[in-house]
Amino acid sequence: MSSPHVLTPGSSVSTIMLLVLAALLPAIAVYYFYFGPGILISLALASVTALVAEAAMLQLRNYPVKYFLTDGSAVLTAWLLALSIPPLAPWWLIVVGTAFAIIVAKHLYGGLGNNLFNPAMVGFAVLMISFPSYMTQWTAPLLLSHHPVGFSETLQYYFSGTLQGVKLDAVTMATPLDAMKTRLNLQHTMSEVTNMPIFGMFGGKGTEAIAAMYLLGGLFLWQRRIITWHTPVSFLVALALVATLFNGIDPNRYAPPMFHLFTGGAMLGAFFIATDYVTSPTTPLGKLIFGASAGFLVYVIRVFGGYPDGIAFAVLIMNAAVPLIDAYTQPRVFGHDSRTKP
Amino acid sequence: MRTLHKFHGGVHPPDHKTESSRLPIAAAPLPQRLIVPLRQHIGTPATPIVKVGDHVLKGQMIGAADDFISAAVHAPTSGIISAIEIHAVPHPSSLPDLCITIVSDGDERWIERQPLDYRTADPDAVRARLRDAGIVGLGGAVFPTHVKLSPGQQKIKTLILNGAECEPWITSDDLLMRERAAEIVAGIKIMAHLIQPEEVLIGIEDNKPEAIAAMQAACQSTGFEVVTVPVLYPSGGEKQLIKMLTGKEVPSGQRTVNIGVLCSNTGTAYTMHRAVDHGEPVISRIVTVTGNVTKPQNFEALLGTPLGELVQLAGGARPDTSHYLIGGPMMGFGLNNLDAPLTKATNCLIAVSPALFPPKPAAMPCIRCTQCAQACPCNLQPQELFWFSQSKNFDKARAYNLFDCIECGCCDYVCPSHIPLVSFFRFAKSEIATQDREIMAAEQAKQRFEFKQMREKRERAEKAARMAEKTAAARAAAAANPDDPVAAAKKAAIQAAVERAKAKKAEAVAALSPSPQPSPTRGEGANEKGACFDLPPSEQSTAPENNTEPS
């Protein structure tokens, strides 16, 4: 009977996870609208895999399975991974990625609260390195597709690996980030690239609307005080600043900042991945350093690296630096003159 | 309008204050038996100055404050002392303590009450009056007020009266300010007279409009300023209130007087007024009885009233009551025994039911969400402190300023993983305190041992010096008087004895050839013994003296 004797009504780990999942729903709806039912199948497969892997690991580790399974953290990992990989892929791709995320990246590192690296991004990195061909086949937006893929066809592709009557190439297209990189390397000018039909207002057609929904969901999480402003703001500001700098130096070779903010996983990364509690710093200054560094790395990988997008690798690199960042950014405690030294 | 400064963090728990603040303060009837603990304050317990069987008057001192940091206790009513024994008391430790039990005679006969004019009296006489009237801080710490109002050389710029009452459920200060504002202000005048501050501020949370209005009316033409502070737990924490009102932070490990501020509770001011202007010691207080009782209300009850009787006055506890809390739900402690009496520190008694106070679900792992860090009014990082406390990495916990934690409970309150953070911090603090004591004890033992070795060395040296001096003196004497007949006779006798021994030895050698060697073991054993103690036998007897040596 030790104080305090009260607790915040309705506050729990599962409440937080459910709110984050809810914040992803608008983006999923828009994703479905632009790219068809593939994302729903992917989300379902990922969720089931995550729950099975989580339950098995909890059982093996002698944890109360039901109590931990309902915390929602495994499903969140699954959703973040499903939203990061192409929506049309063989079933085992998302299953392997999710299982690796839950079993290795989460539980082998100590389970909830103890993993050093973001499980969803570890799953993404494993797939990206192991199965790069599947990871770069993105379906074209339905509006541009000559052959929109329906639900049954998608399901068929997931489990048989073939599409009736058409080749996979007919329904997939390069992503805006991919197109930007390869076309610029082929000495196309910026306006030639951005005039391609896959480009929308700032980013890709469809993907920029999804990015806007991630932004909306992120603002909801900030308003509900699930996340603080530090990480997303520093992430996006750093990304935009570097983009502005290079765009200013040579606008024909470097895309404008709005392009970088609204393509690929920038918004998802800023609001949902870099803000992951367990794998990001806890101090306000640490969050700023973490977010800004990740945003900077995203630009470097996108523009100068080998991969079209850099969210996963930028976040994973920064995850490794979190203990150090935390140790050197302790705030000034009440009644003290300076910051706490490590 | 005064600009308020913000402190970091804070929480907004449901305040549940209207339950008990709707009704005015009621006078509790005289109980048959009053149990008065001798330790109702921080510092040395009062010494009993009555015997079992004595008849005492209402307000008569029954426990005296012998030490500087101590406060007297008094008979709350007239009657017979029936026991001076260990009895249950409301304390976080749940341990019983020495109490004086008085059986009331029902007459309520007072001692002679002598008002003291503090304006003309010597300030030390006023402080002595406070000590002898048992005045202690009623904000929760129960620190003797006469000590607090002796700031020594420190100049107090700001006197702050704490009427924030930020803990949920508690309304005793609120009701006291509403109903007895003039008397509180009279008490503040005494404080102000003793320490002569430049400004006097009265901080009240803005959820108490009646109390604010009453205090503002009472403060007119006094120069005291009532400052309304926004509702934010723990605004009533001393350091937090000072920060809000003055913008100053009490430096870590220091006291408020170091920054020229003195902070006292409004209830304390009221008791000071009763003690100085009316000659009445602290024998009663206002207590909120609320929670799972049928008629929550504030009562003015005599100290020593069994808490069970107060629950009955509040209509009794509902059947699903599991236990009781003393103080508020954020910082109060659990109570199982309603025989425990009302004390100076008891501002609130809450009946707990699972419906009103849902038990904490099983703890989940820390997910580093930093809700705790955002809520911490000290800007600590509870998630780090938890990590260090849990892994018993106490040096790190201390380096991350564990001892700046005020145990307000904000981190615990917001934790989505329901980790009992404050319990972890209390555990780490007590472990560190134990370690420190052990280190200090070891250090003292080491110093004692080294001192002992040094002294023994010195004594040996002195002894050797004395011996050498003696021998030298004897030789000198012999050399100076070669013709001394006594010395010559002695010398001759010794010489003769030596000759005899030599002759005897030669005889023995001749008779028993080969001669036996003296046993080596015996000599070595003796040496071992000496080495073991490293002391000549004559000095071993000095060992017990070590206890009394300075450390």
Q: Which of A5, A224, A276 to mutate to test the interface with B (most CBs of B within 10 A)?
A: A5
Give the B window 240-279 contacts with A, CB below 8 Å.
243, 249-254
Counting residues of chain B whose pLDDT is more than 70, the rounded percentage is 91
Residues 6+ apart with CB under 8 A from A220: A22, A23
Closest to B361 in 3D by CA, of A55, A322, A164, A64? A64
- Residues B185-196 have a mean pLDDT of 94
Chain A residue with minimum CA distance to B369 = A277
**Is A294 in contact with A235 (CB distance < 8 Å)?**
yes
Specify whether A219 is located in the same domain as A102.
Answer: no
Residues of B in contact with A4 (CB under 8 A): 329-331, 409, 412-413, 422
Last residue of a domain, one of A151, A174, A197: A174
For residue range A18-37, list pLDDT tens digits in order. 999 999 999 999 999 988 88
**What mean pLDDT, rounded, does chain B reach?**
89
Q: Which of B239, B255, B368, B391 to mutate to test the interface with A (most CBs of A within 10 A)?
A: B368
A201: in domain:
no
For residue range B308-322, list pLDDT tens digits in order. 999 999 999 999 999
Cα–Cα separations (whole angstroms), residue B464 to B452, B474, B531: 18, 15, 19
Specify whether A146 is located in the same domain as A239.
Answer: no
The pair of three-digit structure tokens given for residue B290, joined into one six-digit string: 């609320």
Residue B533 predicted with pLDDT over 50: no
Q: How confident is the model at residue B338 (pLDDT cuts 50, 70, 90)?
A: very high
Specify whether A229 is located in the same domain as A324.
Answer: yes
Q: Do B331 and A332 touch (CB under 8 A)?
A: no
Q: How confident is the model at residue B10 (pLDDT cuts 50, 70, 90)?
A: very high
Q: Tell me the longest C-alpha to C-alpha distance in chain A.
A: 73
- Residues A313-338 have a mean pLDDT of 95
The one-character DSSP state at B217 is: H
Domain boundaries, chain B: 18-29+116-326, 365-480
- Domain topology for B18-29+116-326: Rossmann fold (3.40.50)
For residue range A101-144, list pLDDT tens digits in order. 999 999 999 999 999 999 999 999 999 999 988 888 888 787 77
Range of the domain at A109: 13-174
A314: in domain:
yes
Residue A148 predicted with pLDDT over 80: no
A24: in domain:
yes
Residues of A in contact with B381 (CB under 8 A): 282-283, 330-331, 340
Domain count of the fold of chain A: 2
Residue A76 predicted with pLDDT over 60: yes
Specify whether A18 is located in the same domain as A160.
Answer: yes
Give the B window 478-507 contacts with A, CB below 8 Å.
none
- Residues A159-183 have a mean pLDDT of 76
Closest to B86 in 3D by CA, of B40, B47, B51, B38? B38
Chain A residue with minimum CA distance to B384 = A282
pLDDT of residue B513: 61
Specify whether A149 is located in the same domain as A272.
Answer: no
Between A342 and A259, name the one with better pLDDT: A259
Residue B300 predicted with pLDDT over 90: yes
Specify whether A18 is located in the same domain as A135.
Answer: yes
How distant is the Cα of A11 from the closest Cα of chain B, in angstroms? Answer: 5
A209: in domain:
no
At residue B205, what is the residue type? E
**Residues B423, B272: Cα–Cα separation, whole Å:** 35
Using CB atoms, which residue from B331, B365, B384 is nearest to A111?
Answer: B365
- Residues A187-196 have a mean pLDDT of 80
Specify whether A162 is located in the same domain as A309.
Answer: no
pLDDT of residue B347: 94
The pair of three-digit structure tokens given for residue A295, joined into one six-digit string: 């945003």
Q: Do B330 and A3 touch (CB under 8 A)?
A: yes
pLDDT of residue B139: 82
A44-61 burial, b at 16+ Cβ within 10 Å, e below that, comes to ebbbebbbebbbebbeee
Using CB atoms, which residue from A68, A283, A334 is nearest to B249?
Answer: A334
A133: in domain:
yes
The pair of three-digit structure tokens given for residue B461, joined into one six-digit string: 């040296």
pLDDT of residue B547: 45
Tell me whether the omega of the peptide bond preceding residue B514 falls within 30 degrees of 0, making it cis. Answer: yes
Helix (H, G, I), strand (E, B) or coil at B161: strand
Residue B546 predicted with pLDDT over 50: no
For residue range B355-393, list pLDDT tens digits in order. 999 998 999 999 999 999 999 999 999 999 999 999 999
Which CATH number is correct for B365-480, 3.90.1690, 2.30.110, 3.40.50, 1.10.1060?
A: 1.10.1060
The reported pTM is: 0.84
For B284, phi and psi rounded to 5 degrees? -150, 170
- Residue count of chain A: 342
Specify whether A222 is located in the same domain as A145.
Answer: no
Specify whether A118 is located in the same domain as A225.
Answer: no
Specify whether A133 is located in the same domain as A275.
Answer: no
Between B25 and B524, name the one with better pLDDT: B25
Residues of B in contact with A111 (CB under 8 A): 365
Specify whether A155 is located in the same domain as A289.
Answer: no
pLDDT of residue B502: 86
pLDDT of residue B151: 67
For residue range B426-463, list pLDDT tens digits in order. 999 999 999 999 999 999 999 999 999 999 999 999 99
Residues 6+ apart with CB under 8 A from A196: A179, A183
- Residues A200-209 have a mean pLDDT of 83
pLDDT of residue B527: 44
Residue B411 predicted with pLDDT over 60: yes
Residue B523 predicted with pLDDT over 70: no
Q: How confident is the model at residue B482 (pLDDT cuts 50, 70, 90)?
A: low
For residue range B132-159, list pLDDT tens digits in order. 999 999 987 889 998 888 867 778 999 9
